[in-house]
Amino acid sequence: MDALTNARKLPRAWTVAVLSATLPIMLTGCGETVKSPSAFTTVPPPQLPNGVIKLSVVHVVNPRFDKFSDAQLEVFLDSLREAGKVHFDRRIEFHPIETVSIEEYFKLVPGDVYGWRKTLIYDFKKGKGDRAKLEAAYETAIRHQSAPAKEWAAYAAREIGLEKVDTDVAEWKKRFADTHIRRLESLKTIMAADGKPALDESPFNEWLYWNMVGERPQTHDIIITNQLVASAEYQGVDIHSALRGGVTVGTTEFSTQSQFGTQFWWSTFPFTSTSPVIVKMRGGEMYEPLEAARLAGTGAAHELGHQLFHYGHPFGISACLMSPTPMLRFREHIGKLDPEACAASQSPAMKRGVLKTLRPKYASD
């Protein structure tokens, strides 16, 4: 976590029922040209080729943050390729990487598809968020988990220091909302290379802004970015993102033109940042450049599971790559992976197609 989906399968997921219920809200005017969806359709699991799966890759760079070097990108892709073989028994190859500035990459996104998304953003930067709506979003997320309640509750309780685990929805929606906003506030202290806050006035940190890349006419299967993505929304909230204060490391999104109907983006910021806030989320883990690239590449294979098989999240089953990384402790998480033990767990979240990725449709489509 964490596309537009039903059930809590991705880092960030939306339910068909919720989208239907909120569509009238999304269609309200925003004082700008807005192209609003008339419906949402489900992206089916792809029919994969028997041999090598070839994926296109782009490196989207914000000059305000440290970025992976060419050597790190090579290690990243090698690790992603190896993890695809080990955990999913698929051979993956990549087209040569393109490098594009973040401003240039988003220029091809239609300018009129952000308006309806903006109505769903909790504006923490201006302090205008609606806590009740955020709690309601978490209640929806809780009720649509694919993992058993005892698993996600135990996973979350460990990260917020609860000694006793319960599955009380009324309590958990408050806990998730409180944890999300409190820790998101701490992320405001992170500074970029230009001396300004990493979470500045631009929308590049917003998950819903990244959700738009699927509407871009020229798509890629994989987007690697150095951008910090940390935000809060009234839809698409996810348990493990809440525990990180809204930090999203990667998400599998719909894509109108990609070969599988989806694409995923993955942020290297959590692996390169030396901010005390991020280091604390890593449990004190510090990564040398090539280890950061290896861990990031292996971790990104989690998104391959969403993209290629539409797997969900087997929360707390540490043997499974598809279990979300606890906070940002990637060294700890990856050290516990065991594909055979994961298969033996028979988690319902590891069934092909359990993820239901939604794509917005417009009247002009």
Write the pLDDT tens digit of every residue in 253-289: 999 999 999 999 999 999 999 999 999 999 999 999 9
Predicted local distance difference test score (pLDDT) of residue 331: 98
For residues 307 and 260, is the Cβ–Cβ distance under 8 A?
A: yes
Q: For the chain, list residues with pLDDT below 50.
A: 1-30
Predicted local distance difference test score (pLDDT) of residue 206: 97
Write the pLDDT tens digit of every residue in 83-101: 999 999 999 999 989 999 9
Residue 223 CA to chain centroid, in angstroms?
12
Enumerate the β-bridge partners of residue 59: 99, 224
Q: Using CA atoms, how far apart are residues 185 and 178, in angstroms rounded to an integer?
A: 11
Predicted local distance difference test score (pLDDT) of residue 348: 93
Predicted local distance difference test score (pLDDT) of residue 32: 65
What pTM, to 2 d.p., does this model score? 0.90
Q: Using CA atoms, how far apart are residues 189 and 185, in angstroms rounded to an integer?
A: 8
Predicted local distance difference test score (pLDDT) of residue 33: 82
Q: Using CA atoms, how far apart are residues 177 and 156, in angstroms rounded to an integer?
A: 13
Q: Using CA atoms, how far apart are residues 246 and 250, in angstroms rounded to an integer?
A: 12
What are the two backbone dihedrals, phi and then psi, of residue 358, each rounded to the nearest 5 degrees?
-105, 145
Q: Using CA atoms, how far apart are residues 160 and 235, in angstroms rounded to an integer?
A: 22
For 331-340, letters b (16+ CB in 10 Å) and e give bebbeebeee
Residue 105 has a CB neighbour count (10 Å cut-off) of 21
Predicted local distance difference test score (pLDDT) of residue 146: 78
Q: How far is CA 338 from CA 71, 119, 240, 341, in A?
A: 27, 42, 21, 5
Q: How far is CA 361 from CA 39, 43, 111, 364, in A?
A: 5, 12, 16, 8
